[in-house]
Amino acid sequence: MLFIAVDQNLNGGKLRVLAKTLDCSENEARGILINLWIWGISNCRKDGLIIGADKKDIADALKSGMRTDLVPAFVVDTLITLNWIEAGEEGLYIHDWQEWNQIPMEYYSMLDKEQNRRKANADRVRKHRSKTGNTNTAGVEEKEDASGAYSSSFESFWKVYPRKVDKGQAYKKYQARLKDGFRPEELQEAAQNYANQCAKDHTEQKYIKHAKTFLGDATPFIDFIKSRGQENKPYDENNPYAGLT
């Protein structure tokens, strides 16, 4: 189990300014921050970079349990303005992340290895298909139909994907993965297997990846393409210490 550290240092002027700006109590402001940090355990790099997420993703993560009259997008903008979240060259960072989290370095080492494995898998696919000249609908960006609608293969993907959020961005990532050399059949298989896994585990909607993240540059979907016969087991974010000795 992983932890964040909350002590008396949180109860200061910066917290009061946050509460006053949001027009909420200090307890509510503190709860928003704790929610952000707990979410960050599974979504942040060791330097605090929030991986593959934009302001909307953060707002979606924070709105659960938030007072109904607080607008999540405004809360995120306020967190950025008041420097609880920082905008950097690579994206958004949780300010002073190493101060608030109590995550051992072994966790991040495991995370880095998993990300490197996925990247290596994707690179191998691209190189292999480039050498063999396999153009069986792979590596080719699909065109929208005459009406401007999404491609039929993406619609099939979207039909089975377990969380219907931000379809337009998901389609952009879908097209990017086709250009990388993945076949529509593989992406469809990954979506179906992920949906089956979420159903089996009774995963709450808020914990199901957005499709744009599932199809993101880190290629987490590869773990759900069983036809690849991968030897490596997928990283278990519910048990980050699995396999550590």
- 62 with 168, same domain: the answer is no
Question: In the structure, what pLDDT confidence band is assigned to residue 233 with cuts at 50, 70 and 90?
Answer: very low
**86 beta partners:** 93
Residue 86 within a domain: yes
- 114 with 194, same domain: the answer is yes
Residue 3 within a domain: no
> Looking at residue 127, what is its pLDDT?
66
Residue 183 within a domain: yes
CA distance 16 to 20: 6
> What's the Cα-to-Cα distance from 213 to each of 54, 57, 110, 185, 216, rounded to whole Å?
11, 10, 20, 19, 5
Residue 54 within a domain: yes
Task: State pTM to two decimals.
Answer: 0.47
Question: In the structure, what pLDDT confidence band is assigned to residue 116 with cuts at 50, 70 and 90?
Answer: low
Q: Which residues span the domain enclosing 14?
A: 8-100
Question: In the structure, what pLDDT confidence band is assigned to residue 135 with cuts at 50, 70 and 90?
Answer: very low
- Return the residue matching tokens 């979240």: 85
- 211 with 130, same domain: the answer is yes
- 177 with 67, same domain: the answer is no
- 116 with 43, same domain: the answer is no
| DSSP E strand stretches across the chain | 85-87, 92-94
pLDDT tens digits, 47-105: 888 887 888 889 988 987 788 889 999 999 999 999 999 988 788 998 888 776 655 55
- How many domains does the chain contain in total? 2
